[in-house]
Chains A and B, each alone.
Chain A
């Protein structure tokens, strides 16, 4: 009665959301599938832990799910019927400024327009035009840019040109490919704070505002600004749901079974070696972890062409990762800026500290140099606003995130173990400074910090703490992600596929890498496509 007496059609390495989604589709296609996970829990970044106190549910990584309803996986795998449940906050995000004013972004764009108009009528009107225009081609963009294998940037540009983009669109242009998010915002908007609000949204999605070329996908990002949703009961519930789908269709998820080697026979991946022995994969092995581990650690060098190894060695990771503070609160925070805009108290995701595009430049320059800013600039989310079950009755769970270097200039990554707590305190102070009820309600019960070094140790495929598993930069997107050779989900090792965040489009709860890999597998193996094709 051993664990792996049987062999499987497919073995998926890593039980993150992409690997599990792929396994779900394959299992439902009638394949026998096993997902092998190194950690003690399935879910990868869908990780919810009671880090501070019992009953305070902290999402350690994935917190914002912005493709609910857009990603085909939710419907195809019937995730709702299998138990996932989302809240869709009516006040999506906001910014609190040092002069006591605030901006709020609502699901209702009329309200967003009114908030923007208090800062600039012109920008508010521009925003509405942008919103409406993007709405017109959002579906098309999502399908062609995300839920399909990567298209070469040159082809995209040519397609836009032949469509006559300059005449038909105010905001799209062939020139976006050489512009940064900041340049795009400067071109269309006049008010610093509105620009900061929109740049904040991009930055939270790992699109650094001053990186040249990232404006090319900005319309897709902006089109999702009202679709940020919260997985009730913690993001990990989505992982439970995926597991239910897999098992229901006959698949298996095995946490705490680290894959030690991808076994290759005659140039073909035929299974994996785990501590218990060999597990055979009759049709394929799909790796959802980073390419460095896949090619440098799990495959013997003799099975990997030198050119592939060279490409993998050159894959770049984000130069700004995250430092997290997880807070157990005695109640919901209220903000001084509510005097200006009462809705700020209900904004799910808050920008505290970025007031202009220049602030982003300074922040990322500072982070890239391995330093911590004197006054941290925060991204705050209090999930209990929209999911009271994530904390005991009357209490609240809070999250502060700040951009941070993985390695500190003095002491490297290891130095975080010494300095994390103190930096956490500074982040908490900054948050307290904009709250109206911090002291009166003794809001902070306890907090835990999670440093970039912690992240990289816990989630080892988040190399250097990079939760996008590969730099968000034109040199590492689309047909370049992770390398030209590996960008189409196939590998030089026959029977070995890549289905994780290292692949196009990138990390985040899009399921797109898994979905796109599925398309390639379906083609190679003649799978009958029962799912909705987009």
Chain B
């Protein structure tokens, strides 16, 4: 008979839950992790859903945090199969009239980006040189912050602390502190004069899935999403799911008990304390010390605990936690005979080898209108996308000589359309995108596409339990980030229910493959249960 009693039981097998599990096991905690799906890794998800041999990263694709991620180094994930490629041309935008493309190169290739920007504007190139240099200096400080739980505070006694480091950070970059209170778009427009360059930044900024780019008070996100992030993107050899494979192996090596196809139906409370869970097939798993939830906030408290077990405060804050509209995505996947060959490649062939390719927009205005649509619950009229063709860099992701294109559309929340309407989007939108694509890359004709697939926000919600199709398990707007994630009274991973902890993307610092929520939650568990602090490392401060 299967063992059923553990020190800690973790709900959900996404990358944060795996992180927390691996560290717990290394600290000699007897830990069991239960995944509802048949596959591990949550959004570290790679599927052959167009044609045999074509791998598509339907969810996570960008691996910008790996080289700072403690889990990656502490458990030798590369040695367990998580190998990366670091493309030189990181992000680029092409144009339908063959204008020169705008391309951002790796963080260690500032001059190449400057050369590219200088085709349009010497001033913009100069700005990039100054700011990107600063961004590289700033990165280590930022990571210390991400991989440390938010500071302790007493909400009852002291009220909500006001913490806004953004003005200071702008100062560090040599920019006016006032810019911290601007929107991302304001910052882009103030610093860069070229419309084509602005268009790329707008799209890159929404790719990070932060707040709407015209939302004031979010200037800090500009520094992160536009200046730091493009330049650090790694891709996983074999597809994002390989990172999961390495994480699972790490967990198994440490002795974690892992059970897939084991969807948790409720958290068992005794005298107000979380003491275990029950799965849909009626099995009970006892937790001697803690139940840790790596799934969504509402899933945890409304579905598994039950609102009747919550305080009024928790009930309100959970109910009003927002999913979307900021990071709701549809994923397009296409099996291609040839990689896209852009008109703009005549001016600079690197655009054909840019890892992340922005397609469908000829002006910054068009990107803005596109992003606005999702926020007013509409499907964008102009079917543009950000795509990546991983097989250009990693031929193992497609049959010999052929290519796997995957990309993101910004869509409205799952509940904005009926199931029938989403079906219609599934049927027609890729076709519209392709018709537009051909104007930018003439070889992107229907005959170049072997098969295609569109994963809608509704699919996202159903498959990954990401409500509304929100990739980050909760909007990343200022009201739901930092100490406010998921809300002040749950910002340090412990909850009002004794023995129940959160370690998923609904906690600080949020969505994305950072593994920080899982790591930080482990630190808190060490504090609360006196587990050995095996996260400490001489090679880093966090």
Contacts and interface: CB of A to CB of B under 8 A. Distances in A.
Interface of A: 1-3, 5, 40-41, 48-51, 53-55, 57, 80-81, 83, 85, 232-234, 236-237, 240, 243-244, 247-248, 252-258, 275-276, 389, 392, 454, 457-458
Contacts of A454: 51-52
Given A40-B242, A244-B252, A253-B249, 18 more contacts: A3-B78, A3-B79, A3-B81, A5-B79, A49-B47, A55-B463, A81-B2, A83-B258, A237-B260, A240-B260, A243-B248, A247-B253, A256-B237, A256-B239, A257-B81, A389-B280, A457-B51, A458-B53
18 contacts: A50-B463, A54-B459, A80-B2, A233-B262, A234-B261, A236-B38, A237-B38, A237-B261, A240-B40, A247-B249, A248-B252, A254-B81, A255-B242, A255-B245, A389-B261, A389-B281, A454-B51, A458-B48
B135 to A, nearest CB: 26
B278 interface: no
Interface in B15-44: 38-40
The CB with the most chain B CB atoms within 10 A, among A2, A5, A83, A232, is that of A83
Contacts of A237: 38, 260-261
Nearest to A276: B83
B413 interface: no
Contact of A234 (B38, B40, B399): B38
Interface in B424-471: 459-460, 462-464
Contacts of A41: 241
A54 B462 contact: yes
B263 interface: yes
B49 A51 contact: yes
Contacts of A236: 38-39
Contacts of B237: 256
A283 B58 CA distance: 40
B259 interface: yes
A353 to B, nearest CB: 28
B396 interface: yes
A275 B396 CA distance: 10
Contacts of B259: 83
A40 B398 CA distance: 11
Interface of B: 1-3, 38-40, 46-49, 51-53, 55, 76, 78-81, 83, 237-239, 241-242, 245, 248-249, 252-253, 255, 258-263, 280-281, 396, 399, 459-460, 462-464
A2 B79 contact: yes
A513 to B, nearest CB: 24
A258 B396 contact: yes
A57 B239 contact: no
A40 B238 contact: yes
A127 B269 CA distance: 54
A175 to B, nearest CB: 44
A392 B462 contact: yes
Contact of B263 (A243, A254, A258, A389): A389
Contacts of B81: 3, 252, 254-257
Contacts of B76: 1
Contacts of A51: 49
Given A83-B260, A252-B80, A40 B39 contact: no
Given A54-B459, A258-B396, A454-B52, A48 B238 contact: no
A333 to B, nearest CB: 22
Contacts of A254: 81, 245
Nearest to A53: B459
B38 A48 contact: yes
Given A2-B78, A234-B261, A389-B263, A457 B281 contact: no
Contacts of B38: 48, 57, 233-234, 236-237
**What 4 pairs between A and B have smallest CB-CB spacing?**
A233-B261, A54-B463, A256-B238, A458-B52
Contacts of B253: 247
Contact of B252 (A40, A233, A247): A247
A331 B38 CA distance: 21
Which of A51, A54, A55, A253 lies at the interface centre, i.e. has the most chain B CB atoms within 10 A of its CB? A54
A53 B463 CA distance: 8
Nearest to A6: B79
A258 B80 CA distance: 15
Contact of A40 (B80, B239, B261): B239
Nearest to B279: A389
Contact of B53 (A55, A80, A253, A457): A457
B342 to A, nearest CB: 28
Nearest to B395: A275
A49 B50 CA distance: 12
B45 to A, nearest CB: 10
Of A83, A233, A244, chain B has the most CB atoms within 10 Å of the CB of A233
A437 to B, nearest CB: 21
A50 B37 CA distance: 10
A74 to B, nearest CB: 14
A17 B3 CA distance: 24
Contacts of A3: 78-81, 83
Contacts of A85: 261
B249 A252 contact: yes
A183 B93 CA distance: 69
Contacts of B51: 454, 457
Nearest to B81: A254
Nearest to B245: A255
A192 B242 CA distance: 52
A257 B82 CA distance: 11
A505 to B, nearest CB: 28
B151 to A, nearest CB: 33
A256 B241 CA distance: 10
Nearest to A41: B241
A389 B245 CA distance: 23
A3 B242 CA distance: 13
B297 to A, nearest CB: 21
B521 to A, nearest CB: 24
A276 B85 CA distance: 13
Contacts of B39: 236
A115 B248 CA distance: 48
A376 B2 CA distance: 43
Contacts of B248: 243
A318 to B, nearest CB: 19
Nearest to B280: A389
Given A3-B79, A256-B239, A256-B396, A233 B258 contact: no
Contacts of B463: 50, 54-55
Nearest to A453: B52
